[in-house]
Every structure is written in structure tokens, then in C-alpha cells.
């Protein structure tokens, strides 16, 4: 039985398709939006469509940006000889919140997972290897400490080691099975400072 009209049901259905939003949260959001001034809702809709149209991958590190190079890669004061490899842009943002890392990043957009059919060719590994043809002193592997993250870290380490570039892994302090985006800045900082060479 439909409790609401088609438009409200449609809005609730679209909102509940978002990650982490269940039916009750979708209903709350739908009613909130319906009760907002028209201009407010139009600004939100415009922000979403403009972001979808303008946001792309950084040509260097592959994080999300609306420019050719993201602000981190474009910053000449950053240490471009140290590259931290992360699984996604949310992990990059988590490390940036510490304010203590001055290198650059490489975003893989995933991790190797044979169970899910994700191999090395399905993430941005080829682009990482291309970046290593330039002056690079160290690659810090900061993938999640899940089975997939560890598999990816070992694969990257084996790929890079023969080149003579230092390869390190973030230290413990990050709980096994935990996602970097959900960890506080101090824990992330300790993990970064206590990294070990692979």
C-alpha cells in the first residue's frame, strides 16, 4: 500500500539508493527537502548536477577534482618524491586531516580482490608504475588493513622493489579490517610515523 503520492515515493526510493541511507533516513530526508524553500532545493540539485558534470580524476594522482591537477599535485611545496598509495579519495582526505604528511598521493580506486574478480588491471596500478619513471624516493603503501588491502600492498611491493625505490607500509595502529576514512587523525598519524620498509 502506498502511503504517499508517486513523487514522494520516487524521492524516497532515490534517496534510499544512496550508501548508508535506509528507508527511514530516506523518508526523513525527503520530508526535509520538501519542506525547504524552493531556492534551497534548487541549489542542492544544481550542486549535484554541476559536480557530476565537472568533477574528474586528477591527471597525476587520480583523486577527484574539477581541475586537470588537484590542489595537492599542483602544489610545488609538496614533496613530489614521496608518494602515498591509498585505495580511494576518502582515504586521501583522512591523511590530509592530520596535517603532517607533505608528500603526494596515488589513488588506486580499489584493491585487488580475486573473490570479487578485481585484478591488478582493474585498479590504477599501471598509472602508478608510470609515475615511478620520474624522480621518486619512496612509495608509502597506505591501503586498508583488510585482506584485499594487504594483498594489494604485497603486490605493489613486489612490483616496485626491483626498481630500487624504497617501499614502506603504514604501521599498526590502524585496526585490522578497519577503513581508513573512519579512523581518527592521531591513530592515522601514528601509523604513518611508524611505517616500516617492506
3-state SS record for 117-179: CECHHHCCHHHHHHHCCCCCCEEEECCCCCHHHHHHHHHHHHHHHHHCCEEEECCCCCCCCCC
For residues 16 and 178, which has the higher predicted lDDT (pLDDT)?
Answer: 16
**Average pLDDT of the residues of the chain:** 90
Mean pLDDT of 181-194: 72
In the prediction, which pLDDT does 180 show?
73
In the prediction, which pLDDT does 170 show?
84
Mean pLDDT of 85-104: 94
Say whether pLDDT at 186 is over 80: no
Say whether pLDDT at 1 is over 60: no
- Give percent of the chain with pLDDT exceeding 90: 73
In the prediction, which pLDDT does 140 show?
95
Cell triple for 172: 599498526
In the prediction, which pLDDT does 6 show?
85
pTM over 0.85: no
Between helix 89-98 and helix 185-193 the angle, nearest 10°, is 90
Domain 70-197 has CATH 3.40.1360.10: yes
- Break the chain into its structural domains and give their ranges: 6-54, 70-197
In the CATH scheme, what is the homologous superfamily, with its name and number, of domain 6-54?
Answer: RecR Domain 1 (1.10.8.420)
Q: Per-residue confidence at 197, pLDDT binned at 50, 70, 90?
A: confident
Say whether pLDDT at 56 is over 90: yes
The whole-angstrom separation of Cα 143 and Cα 177 is: 11
pLDDT tens digit string along 28-43? 999 999 999 999 999 9
Contact predicate 152/111, CB 8 Å: yes
Say whether pLDDT at 2 is over 70: no
pLDDT tens digit string along 103-153? 999 999 999 998 899 999 999 999 999 999 989 999 999 998 788 988 999
In the prediction, which pLDDT does 192 show?
77
Mean pLDDT of 81-92: 96
Amino acid at each position: 500500500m502506498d502511503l504517499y503520492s508517486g513523487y514522494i515515493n520516487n524521492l524516497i526510493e532515490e534517496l534510499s539508493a544512496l550508501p548508508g541511507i535506509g528507508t527511514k533516513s530516506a523518508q526523513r530526508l525527503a520530508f526535509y527537502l520538501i519542506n525547504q524553500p524552493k531556492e534551497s532545493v534548487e541549489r542542492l540539485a544544481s550542486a549535484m548536477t554541476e559536480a557530476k558534470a565537472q568533477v574528474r580524476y586528477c591527471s597525476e594522482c587520480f583523486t577527484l577534482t574539477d581541475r586537470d591537477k588537484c590542489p595537492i599535485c599542483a602544489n610545488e611545496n609538496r614533496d613530489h618524491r614521496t608518494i602515498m598509495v591509498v585505495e580511494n579519495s576518502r582515504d586521501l582526505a583522512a591523511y590530509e586531516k592530520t596535517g603532517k604528511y607533505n608528500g603526494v598521493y596515488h589513488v588506486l580506486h580499489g584493491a585487488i580482490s580475486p573473490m570479487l574478480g578485481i585484478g591488478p588491471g582493474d585498479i590504477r596500478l599501471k598509472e602508478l608504475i608510470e609515475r615511478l619513471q620520474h624522480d621518486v624516493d619512496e612509495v608509502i603503501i597506505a591501503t586498508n588493513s583488510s585482506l584485499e588491502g594487504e594483498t594489494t600492498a604485497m603486490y605493489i611491493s613486489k612490483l616496485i622493489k626491483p626498481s630500487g625505490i624504497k617501499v614502506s607500509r603504514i604501521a599498526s595502529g590502524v585496526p585490522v579490517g578497519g577503513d581508513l576514512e573512519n579512523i581518527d587523525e592521531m591513530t592515522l598519524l601514528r601509523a604513518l610515523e611508524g611505517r616500516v620498509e617492506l
